[in-house]
Structure formats: structure tokens, C-alpha cells
Amino acid sequence: MTVTNETKIYVIDLINKALSSMKRNQFEDAEDYLRSAKGELHDANMGSSSLSVGGGFDVIASHKKLKIL
């Protein structure tokens, strides 16, 4: 998978925002950020000429509170 530096920076920013939201117990916001990050990676993967089998990303829904170490 080829991902541009701009996409990497944006996805990392989204993940950091999700982490901040989880620390504030804002799990729905965190889930939105993670879904956006997944979408960006998916779009980058689809734009790639070398797609690998099973190389996708997935977000697993969870109704449990997440504990940040």
C-alpha cells in the first residue's frame, strides 16, 4: 500500500484526536475520528495499484469503556 506523507500526517492527527477524546470519555467522538482515519486509509489503499488480499483495515465496534494506560 502506498500512502502519501500528507495522508499519513492526517491519519495520525485523527488517531491522536481519537485518543484525546477517549481520555475525556467521549467515546462516540473517538469512534468518529477512528472511522474517518479508516476511510482515509481505505481511500489511499483503493488508489494504490498494488492491492493485497486481506490488506484492508477494519474498525471493531465496542460498547465497553476503553481504558487508556
pLDDT digits (tens, 9 = 90+) for 5-28: 899 999 999 999 999 999 999 999
The answer to whether 42 and 56 have CB atoms below 8 angstroms apart is: yes
pTM for the model: 0.65
Exposed (0-12), middle (13-18) or buried (19+): which is 27, by Cβ within 10 Å? middle
Q: How many CB atoms lie within 10 A of CB 52?
A: 9
Sign of CA dihedral 45, 50, 51, 55: negative
pLDDT digits (tens, 9 = 90+) for 31-48: 999 999 999 988 888 765
